[in-house]
Amino acid sequence: MSNIDIEQRVTKAKELFLSGYNCCQSVVLAFEDITKLEQTTAATISAPFGGGMGRLREVCGAVSGMTMIAGFLSPCPSNSDIAAKKANYALVQRFAEAFRAQNGNIVCRKLLGLEREKDEPTPSVRTAEYYKKRPCAELVGDAARIVAKHLAENSKKEQ
């Protein structure tokens, strides 16, 4: 899926979530061709960011997934490259602001309407009722769409 079909990315991210991956994993795995990470590695490094970082209900996992992808799209491997850091942070902020504009927030508990600040570490069982009451599949789709649109726009600029 190296071409940038926006809706294919959205569909893939949603399908990954509905198959049991968490929000962050679903976004990261939908862009495997960009990260060039093997699936197990990508799923492993993105796993802790589900549930708003280990079910702490902080930054939404879908937003964390976009942030991880930003690291590949605007890399900053040097600790002294200020321009690269600025470009990377600017991309992260653009992604987060686009998500906030669509959903009103980037914080998991606020997106889910939860009162408590964290949950027990045991993940919720994925049932039809779980999926019915959680907007997570749509949030994952929104995140994938934001990244895919960015890729499509930059692809057009390069042509």
SS3 state of residue 65? helix
Res. 1: pLDDT tops 50? no
**Beta carbons within 8 Å of 8's beta carbon, 6+ residues apart:** 1
SS3 state of residue 59? strand
Query: Whole-model pTM?
Result: 0.93
Please state the φ and ψ torsions of residue 39, each to the nearest 5 degrees.
Answer: -55, -45
**Structure tokens of 149?**
């649109």
Of residues 11, 4, 5, 46, the one with CA closest to residue 142: 11
Instruction: Give, in order, the Cα–Cα distances in Å from 158 to each of 148, 152, 153.
Output: 15, 10, 9
SS3 state of residue 90? helix
Which tens digit of pLDDT belongs to each residue from 109-122? 999 999 888 888 99
The Cα–Cα gap between 114 and 129 comes to: 17
Task: Label residue 128 exposed, middle or buried (CB < 10 Å: 0-12, 13-18, 19+).
Answer: exposed
How many CB atoms within 10 Å of residue 18? 14
Res. 72: pLDDT tops 80? yes
The Cα–Cα gap between 57 and 134 comes to: 14
Q: Which amino acid is at 136?
A: C
**Structure tokens of 34?**
């960009």
Q: Which amino acid is at 72?
A: F
Which tens digit of pLDDT belongs to each residue from 5-22? 999 999 999 999 999 999
Which tens digit of pLDDT belongs to each residue from 132-155? 889 999 999 999 999 999 999 988
Per-residue confidence band for 62, with pLDDT thresholds at 50, 70 and 90:
very high
